[in-house]
Amino acid sequence: MDAQQLERRQAVVRLLRSGVVHRQEDLVSLLRAEGYEVTQSSVSRDLRDLGVLKASGRYVLPPDEVSRTQGDFVMLAQFVRGLKRAGPSLTVLRTTIGAAQSVAVAIDRAEWPEVAGTLSGDDTIFIATASERAQEELITRLQALFRI
């Protein structure tokens, strides 16, 4: 999945959360209005890959905790290239070019207690932790999520 597809899927989630989408055609129109080049089939694939269900005539996103810990990271894992310690409270996460911001946003949204904050560039993310122990927890989590 490329960065454009990832950005589109984030827009899909945002639009579904707004509650204005009742049919796939609505979603296609809203995405096109935002400048995304989509088809009915690409939107259908996005909904399936995001784990979106349709119940009682409306779209239902997976529970936030599931999507925060699995959905975003499953999609982003292919962009993560490496992990390195930079002292007792700074971890450097390397990504493919252009993917660092998306990965950092997912980490921020996850609101992990061990993360004090992130700073991302084009292909590098600095993740600050409050202690060496918090860094250990973070590294364990990142290794499990991204298989690095």
Nearest alpha-carbon partner for 76 in 4, 138, 143, 1:
1
Which DSSP letter does residue 97 get?
A: T
Q: Is the pLDDT higher at 109 or at 57?
A: 109
Greater model confidence, 65 or 77:
77
User: Crossing angle of helices 24-33/3-18, nearest 10°?
Assistant: 120
Closest CA to 99 of 82, 119, 124, 74: 124
For residue 66, pLDDT beyond 50: no
For the whole prediction, is pTM greater than 0.75? Answer: no
Q: Cβ-count burial of 137 within 10 angstroms (0-12 exposed, 13-18 middle, 19+ buried)?
A: middle
Structural domains of the chain ordered from first start: 3-61 (1.10.10.10), 77-146 (3.30.1360.40)
Distance in angstroms (rounded) separating the CA atoms of residues 114 and 138: 6
Q: What pLDDT is recorded for position 58?
A: 73
